[in-house]
């Protein structure tokens, strides 16, 4: 089983793959989120892992854009604790660090560290583990990376500061996707433990989003997530909804049918078992 993720080996996304699938999966690194989506939709890999939100930094827009543009189905989710470390060469010290490389979402989770170390410049790169690898390649004691302990171990770096995330309960939620109509969806979930993700575009008229949301409220269905992203026409938006039941449940079927009458387009991306948050 091959599972694509964004970044290099040692990234938090690789941890998400291993947490969800166990040892039977082969994690397949890809540089960009869109590369993950294309690898899955083309059949090059069986599944993909896309981070969609972090408890500190919020939604991960590029992952939502992949869900909108690729023919994918969501078949699961996994929540990974995120503990960030500053790491450098064996000869480095925190006092000598002048720049820290990491993914912009990771940098946003460690704002307090950069306030407290105002002489250190935060530099955005494409991946946390890739930043660790870049530190090795640069061979510069003044350059460090912000990444996981696993990345430090993989690339032979020294931990200069540990657990620098702004909150100790920092977590990232990943959606597990496969190619639409691949037959790999519809995994089992216990009663009351289903979640469904929907992509919709409303008409650009007053009250259209309110009417769309009432489709669920009127049937007692809890909406657990609402995320907006720019659509293909300037100043129009698509919305990602998540609600706490199976799309095949009677109330959900009625809500979705009603939703279609109030929306320009509706696409159910998948129903799957809820992940258990870390304590």
**Active-site annotation, residues:** 172, 174
The C-alpha atoms of residue 172 and residue 96 are separated, in whole angstroms, by 30
- Specify the DSSP class assigned to residue 135: H
Tokens of 84: 């960030």
Tokens of 228: 């907006």
Look at residue 62 and give its three-state secondary structure.
helix
The C-alpha atoms of residue 171 and residue 71 are separated, in whole angstroms, by 27
| Alpha-carbon distances, residue 19 vs 30, 59, 270 (angstroms) | 18, 21, 20
Q: 128, exposed or middle or buried, with CB in 10 Å at 0-12, 13-18, 19+? A: buried
**What contacts 89, CB < 8 A, 6 or more positions away?**
135, 136, 139, 140, 141, 157, 158
The H or E element containing residue 79 is strand 72-81
Hey, how many other C-beta atoms are within 10 angstroms of the C-beta on 35? 18
The C-alpha atoms of residue 36 and residue 40 are separated, in whole angstroms, by 6
DSSP assignment of 161-197, as one string? E---SSSTT-EEEEEEEEETTSS-------TT-EEEE
């Amino acid at each position: 089983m091959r599972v694509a993720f964004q970044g290099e080996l040692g990234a938090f996304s690789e941890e998400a793959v291993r947490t969800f699938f166990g040892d039977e999966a082969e994690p397949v690194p890809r540089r960009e989120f869109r590369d993950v989506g294309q690898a899955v939709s083309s059949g090059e890999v069986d599944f993909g892992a896309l981070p969609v939100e972090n408890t500190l930094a919020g939604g991960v827009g590029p992952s939502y854009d992949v869900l909108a543009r690729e023919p994918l189905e969501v078949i699961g989710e996994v929540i990974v604790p995120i503990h960030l470390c500053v790491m450098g060469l064996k000869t480095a010290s925190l006092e000598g660090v002048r720049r820290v490389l990491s993914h912009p979402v990771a940098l946003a989770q460690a704002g307090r560290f950069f306030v407290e170390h105002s002489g250190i410049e935060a530099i955005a790169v494409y991946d946390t583990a890739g930043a660790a690898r870049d530190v090795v390649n640069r061979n510069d004691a003044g350059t460090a990376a912000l990444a996981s302990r696993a990345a430090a171990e993989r690339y032979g770096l020294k931990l200069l500061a540990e657990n620098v995330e702004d909150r100790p309960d920092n977590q990232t939620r990943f959606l597990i996707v496969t190619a639409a109509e691949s037959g790999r969806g519809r995994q089992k979930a216990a009663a009351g433990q289903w979640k469904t993700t929907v992509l919709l575009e409303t008409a650009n008229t007053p009250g259209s989003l309110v009417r769309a949301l009432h489709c669920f409220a009127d049937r007692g269905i809890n909406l657990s997530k609402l995320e907006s992203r720019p659509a293909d026409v300037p100043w129009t938006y698509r919305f990602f909804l998540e609600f706490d039941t199976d799309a095949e449940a009677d109330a959900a079927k009625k809500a979705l049918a009603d939703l279609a009458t109030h929306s320009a387009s509706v696409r159910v991306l998948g129903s799957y078992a809820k992940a258990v948050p870390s304590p």
